[in-house]
Structures are given as structure tokens and as C-alpha cells.
Chain A
Amino acid sequence: MIAYLAKRILLLIPLMLGITLITFAVVHLAPGEPVEMQISMNPKVTAEARERLKKFYGLDKPLHVQYAVWVKKLAMLDFGRSFAPDNRPVIDKIRERIPITLSLNIISLVIEFGLAIPIGILAAIRRDTLFDKGMTVFVFIGFAVPTFWLALLLMYLFGVKLGWLPVSGLHSLGSEAYGSLRWLLDMAKHLLIPVSVAAFGSLAGLSRYMRSTMLDVIRQDYITTARAKGLPERTVIFRHALRNALLPVITLLGLSVPGLIGGSVIFETIFAIPGMGQLFYGGVMARDYPLVMGILVIGAGLTLIGNLLADLGYAFADPRIRHGQGS
């Protein structure tokens, strides 16, 4: 087991290096330069000022030198400073946004799983009933409706017409002075529409998946046996069927972990939520190389770690994998 682990970790190093190389190449292949984007055709800026900015950012050096400088810093976990005029460390910019994106994604994920799993189970055991068909229509509407459109409609209804919920943002003005309970309630009100819209849009995939695995399991012989034993239906479904049906769904949950730090640009823009998606999109549009590369590398790193943990989990659970690899 230890040898297997060591091997996997060693393999990560060249993989990570490859990722940095590809990231760097792709980012620099895009036409345009950070300096151009800042100046963006302001006639008051001469060629000399442009050269000065380029030199300041180290963009006057050849590409391979730029890469070496960047990777050397990265090896010491220094992501460098942003090319935006504020010139702040990239890690600070990411750090102030990750909590927002992370909490939003976790809440959405919990709601999504919390709704989709019961919907899938119920649809499977009441297969072909009105409930099943109605739910199919419902989740596919969620899947098909453009998120931004639904979001705008809900904002208009609840924010403008009825005035029940805030339109956008995360906190009300002056919320710093609130007590912790009121502060939390205020934030919950702000998050209600975004989280519901996000969850509604992603119900379809998961609930359909849950329904089909559940149907597979219900047809198994051991379920027939359980029923034949005279167990109550509730016990058959929840004790025997559900446990097996949930296994593949847990894999899905594992797969969505790296996505937790990625935000959706459209979503964050519409709701004015300062998350990772906006930061990344802004970085790309401004050709802020260190910021874009920093986010990509962190994302890649988390994916690698996630994969490693998943593989370790499998290895732990399944001796065949462990021994097959180790020997």
C-alpha cells in the first residue's frame, strides 16, 4: 500500500510540470497582451510608456525565460503578482474569492443531491405513474431553461415586483452592523434565488441517474428474495435497494469535488456574486497571465489530489486494485 502511494505521488510531479507547461503555452498563445488591454487605445499613452509597462511585468524577456521565472516561483508556492494595475499577489486575489464560491457551490450541491436523490428513488419505485412522468417533465424543464433567463425572471418577480428578496449581491448595505443571526438571515435571503436556480438546472442529470440505478437494483434477485421473505416494502427499498443504488451516485459526488472551486461566469455576473468565475473571466479578458495561470494550476492541482484520493479510496475498498498495481 505504501509503495503504491509513493508511486502515485511521484507520478504527480511530472504530471504537474506538464500541466504548467501546457497552461503557460495556451495562455500565451491567445492573441493580445496585458499591456495592450490596460491601455486599450488611449491616445495619451505613447510607445515609450507601453515599453515601460512591458518591462515592469517582465514581458520584454523571451518566453522560455518568462516560463522559467514563473515555474521557479511556483515551486516555492509563489503565484506571483497580478498584471492588473493593482499588482497584488495572485494568491490574495484568489483567497478573498474562494470562500464565496466554495460555500455557494457546497450549498447548491447539498440542495441538488438532497432533492435529486429522493426524486430519483420515488420516480423509480413509482415508475410510469403520474408522479414519475411529472417529475421527468419538471427536471427536464430545469435542464432546458437557460439559467440566466430564469434568474432574471425570478429577480424581477421577487426583487422588483414583490420586493420580498434582494435582487443581487451577497449582503445588504450596513449588514456589518447586524448581529450574527440577522447577518446570516440576510445572506440567506440573498442566496435563495441563486442557489435555487443553480440546483434547479442540475437536478435533471442526477435524478435521472438515480432513477435508472434504482430501477436496475430493484430488478435484482435479492430484492425479490427480500420481498418474498415478507419484509415491509419500506425496509426493502431503504435497507436493501438504496444502499446498492447509491454507490455509483457517490462516485458522481466525488467527481464534482474539483468543480467546487470553479464558478460560473454567467451566474456570478448576473447575481453580482464576486466569485472565482468572474475573477477568472476578468483575468482572461485582461490577459492577466499570472492570475489565469495561478487559477488553472490550483484547479489542476486539486483535480489531481481529488483523483488520487478517489483511487486510494478504491484501493482501500477493493483489494484487487491494490494488489494488481502493487505487484
Chain B
Amino acid sequence: MTRGVIAFLAMAMAFMVLQSCDGGKGATRVPKRGAGTPAYGDAIVVGSIGEPSTLLPVLATDSASGDISNLVYNGLVRYDKDLKLEGDLAEQWDISPDGLTITFHLRRGVKWHDGVDFTSRDVLYTYRVTIDPKTPTAYADAFKQVIKAEAPDDYTFRVSYAKPFAPALESWGMSVLPAHLLEGKDITKSPLARKPVGTGPYIFREWVAGQRVILESNPKYYEGRPYVGRFIYKIVPDSSTMYMELKAGGIDQMGISPIQYQRQTGTADFTSKFNKYRYPASQYTYLAYNLRNPLFSDKRVRQALTSAINKDEIIHGVLLGMGQIAHGPYKPGTWAYNPRIRDFDYNPERARALLAEAGWREKNSDGILVKDGKPFQFTILTNQGNDQRLKSAVIIQYRLKAIGIEVKIRVIEWASFLSQFIDKGNFDAVLLGWTITPDPDIFDIWHSSKTGPKEFNFIHYKNPEVDRLLVQGRSTFDMSERRRCYYRLQEILAEDQPYTFLYVPDALPVVSARFRGIKPAPAGIGYNFIKWYVPKEEQVY
């Protein structure tokens, strides 16, 4: 079988070489083969480093489980290609004028994979099992804001809140579970964890432990049958091996590294077999300062540090240019992102001036700034296993040395990193990353009430205006008002510099060129997976 694939790809390649001679060099994103006619069938093999832990989404926290669950289940709402909420199992919804009640009108005629009708009973069950104290779930909090949930009829579901809570809507994107299979049973021991039944575009077929998960297209899916017949999730724990599998034709889709994107995938052979995509990932990397450390309590010092760091250089050195500068906590191009924000660009002169203003004037014999007899030195902590973060730290170390600040770098295994350093507030500065969620509510990271042990404002940032904006931003559904709050929030963060926001890396997926219909959008490429297809003559599985 594998040999067949290779032979086929070799033929396709020969064909492509001929074609590209007269076709010239196009941009890598444009599919170089003709569009072909959409056809049902074939399979896609997607490579994954990790194995899913459980296919009951309410219990899972890992991304591999999410990859599968997203194809097997639906939520009431979901994010569309522009990261705006749209109806999924809920055809539409109404929010009461006071913002306290949301009524979902559910889609009719949707069936579970075992043929049973989907109704509001399933939604009510999902809500109840999530808030049940016996369910070991990480997702109960948004649902706990609900004071009343009811299902007046089979296709209406209504929830009420004590106060308007904007992230509530997003929380109903949670996968809806089949009540008829789970109600009255212990969810932690349910066989559905390894054999899920959902309403989604793909039906679970097989899970070979440690090797692969196989899904099959759902011919009765409410949005129509997906073109690609099978979805095969292949577990390859080593990224170099996965890349070789890709080149050998054993895998059709994986995410690659900047160096692979820039240096190893430019050959005619590769570009004829695969399409590369590039768009900003939903995450940013930052350097956070422990604000309880007197070293960083002065805003001017933090502004100086940001001015001394050359973010462009980090992006070029670490990401080979495959990313963009972060000025704040949102993804460029999304609705909450304030495009006018520019924080402190690279300017060592300004850095020196700001430090002098803050009292760091003298230098000792090693050329390190001294104030009150103490040299300016601190340690950047980062977690083990993330090469990009470590390299960024090294570049920062070099730049800060130039203005007279001595930086040490320590790399620590993740579990110890959290328990010994973050939780105890035992650090000077940390280099980490946050995921950027489609909903801009970042209360948990920046609100001054979130500085307790194991909470996420671990740098102890406290700004009354930020607190007010965070509360205001989450308590209205009015998009323009929310945008105003978050725009202002970004201005304050850019001025205060509690973090030095470093970069937003690019996501770099590669997909076999036989798949057509892929349309990159702000949400990435996966949002229209059910519309991807392989023309009949190119199908291999």
C-alpha cells in the first residue's frame, strides 16, 4: 500500500516538474494543480505528537483529544473562519435586552451517530454533568455562572445569568454529549471515552492504542456529507520522524517548524507534493516581570527593558522571520486587537535614559549598572523543551548586557517550574507563552483579584483602571463597547509594560497537494475541513 502511494506520488511529481517548467514559480500558498472536481472518498492522515487521552471532551484537557472531538461532536455555537461566533447545533440564539438570559433555538433533524434524535435534553445533560461536583472537569467555571438552565421544549434551551457575562456565549461551544447514552451513569467509567458517539461530521471507527485513531465521514451530517472519506490521526511522537513520514507519503498533514518551512521544503520535489500554509498562530510569547521584586516595581525600568530588547531580531533569529511583533495580548487582525498600539520599539539610547531617570546611573568594574550598591542583575526562567523560548532568552540576555544589565538564564522542567517557582512567586522574570482565545476576556490573567496561589496573575499586576475595564468588558454583549474596553486596556498595558510582549509566531501547516478546497482564513485552515476534497483521479486510499 505504502509503495503504491510512493509510486503514485512519484508519478504526480514527474507530472508536476513538467508543469512547473512552463508555469513558473507561484506563491507557495496557491495550489499549483488544477482545482479538479470535488469527489467523495480518499482519506487524510494527520500526524500528531501526542495521543488523545479521552474522547469525552468534558474530561479532556489536551489538544490531541480536542482535534478528534472537534470532528466527532458539535457545540451549540462555534467560531467561523473570521473567529466570530456562529450557530452550530443552535440555529440561532436571542439574548434578552438586560443581557441576563440566552435562549438557544436548536437545529431540528440532527441525529446522533447511533440514529437517535438530538434534542434539548442532550444540552441540559451536558450542562448538568459539567457542573456536577463528581465530574472531574476543568470546564465547570463558565457554566457555574448560570443560575437557571431549562429546556421548555425539545428544540429550545434557555439559560439565565445573575449578571451579564459575555464569555458565556463562547462557553456554549462546549461539545454536546449524548444524554441517552450517558444519563444516570458514571461518566468517568463510560466506554464512550474510547468509543465516542457524537453528532459531528465524522463517526468514530477505531482507536489502536498508541498508534492511530480512525474516523469515517458521516453521510447524514447536517451540513452535508464531508468529501474526505476517512480521517486518520496517526501518532508519531518524534517530530523528525513525523517529517520523514510526511516526505515518504505516510502522512498528509502536519505542522512544521520555521527552519523546515524556510530551508527544507523549498525543493521542487516538495512543493509539487505539498502545499505550505502560513498564518498567525493563536498564541504569544512574553517576558513577564515579577512586580513584587523591587527591581521591577518602577514602570520606567520595565519600559527601559522593553526598549533594550530588539523584537525584530528575536523574530528573525528564532523564528526565521515566521512571526510578528507582539505589542499586546491580542492577535493582530482580530476584532479586539488595537492596531494603533505601538509599545517601546528597539532603542538602547532611550533605555539608558529611562534607567538613568530611575536612578541607575553608575556602573561597576564589570560594566553593570549599580544603584545603592546593588548591581542590576536578574534571572530569566523558562521551561524545558521549548527551544524557541530558550533562544529568545539568550538574545535578550545579549541585548540587556549591552545596556549594563546582567541576565542569567535557567531552564526548568515544567512540573517543577510551576510548583517551585511560579506558584511560590519565586522568580525575577519568566519567558513563557499564552494562548490567545477568540473571546478577548483576559480577566484571569490581569485582574488584581487573580494573584492568589495557583492563579494566573502570578506577576501581581495591579492597576485599578485595568480591573475596571476587565469587568466592564466581560459584562456586556455589545461588541463596540467591549472593543472600546479592550482597546483602552491595550493602551495601558503598552504603557505599563508588566510584560514585554515579544512575538506572535506563525502556524505553519503542510498539507498534501492532492487535497483541494483549503482556504486559509484568520481561523486557520481547519475550519472548512468538511469541504476539502481529493479529485477522483488523485485519490490514493
Contacts and interface: CB of A to CB of B under 8 A. Distances in A.
Interface of A: 30-33, 36-50, 52-53, 56-57, 84-88, 93, 96-97, 152, 155-156, 159-160, 163, 166-175, 268-272, 274-275, 278-279, 285, 287
Nearest to A178: B1
Interface stretch (B132-140, B356-364, B402-410, B523-531): B132-140
Interface residues of B, number: 62
Interface of B: 1-3, 6, 43, 45, 53-54, 59-62, 65, 133-134, 136-142, 188-189, 193-194, 209-212, 232, 234-238, 240-241, 244-245, 247-248, 250, 414-416, 418-420, 422, 432, 434, 437, 442, 444-445, 452-456, 541
Contacts of B454: 47, 50
A184 to B, nearest CB: 15
A44 B139 contact: yes
Contact of A173 (B45, B238, B414): B45
Contact of B3 (A43, A85, A163, A270): A163
A135 to B, nearest CB: 31
A37 to B, nearest CB: 6
A53 B136 contact: yes
Contact of B414 (A37, A52, A159, A170): A37
Contacts of A43: 434, 442, 444-445, 456
A278 B210 contact: yes
Contacts of B541: 173-174
Given A44-B138, A86-B194, A171 B211 contact: yes
A163 B248 contact: yes
Given A31-B420, A169-B211, A272 B236 contact: yes
Nearest to B452: A47
B1 A173 contact: yes
A36 B54 contact: no
A91 to B, nearest CB: 14
Contact of A155 (B140, B210, B241): B241
A172 B1 contact: yes
Given A36-B419, A167-B250, A46 B209 contact: no
A87 B238 contact: no
B60 A272 contact: no
A85 B445 CA distance: 25
Nearest to B421: A31
Given A32-B419, A172-B2, A270-B241, A167 B248 contact: yes
A32 B420 CA distance: 8
A271 B235 CA distance: 11
Given A52-B136, A163-B248, A167-B248, A38 B61 contact: yes
B133 A52 contact: yes
23 contacts: A30-B415, A31-B415, A39-B138, A41-B418, A44-B437, A45-B141, A47-B455, A48-B141, A49-B139, A50-B454, A53-B136, A53-B138, A84-B53, A86-B54, A87-B189, A152-B240, A166-B2, A173-B45, A174-B541, A175-B1, A270-B241, A278-B210, A278-B237
Contacts of B232: 173
A32 B235 contact: no
B209 A44 contact: no
Contacts of A32: 414-416, 418-419
Contacts of B59: 85-87
B463 to A, nearest CB: 18
Given A156-B244, A166-B250, A42 B138 contact: yes
Contact of B250 (A39, A168, A278): A168
A43 B437 CA distance: 10
A85 B240 contact: no
A251 to B, nearest CB: 34
Contact of B54 (A47, A53, A87, A285): A87
A272 B235 contact: yes
- A87, A152, A170, most chain B CB atoms within 10 A: A87
Given A31-B415, A159-B244, A160-B248, A49 B237 contact: no
Given A41-B418, A85-B62, 5 more contacts: A38-B61, A52-B137, A152-B244, A168-B236, A279-B210
B65 A168 contact: no
Contacts of A155: 241, 244
Contacts of B138: 38-39, 42, 44-45, 49, 53
Contacts of A49: 137-141
B209 A271 contact: no
A36 B418 contact: yes
A269 B51 CA distance: 12
A85 B140 contact: no
A266 B238 CA distance: 9
Given A97-B209, A156-B244, A159-B244, A274 B235 contact: yes
A37 B418 CA distance: 9
B241 A167 contact: yes
A31 B54 CA distance: 25
Contacts of B61: 38-40, 42, 85
A56 B186 CA distance: 13
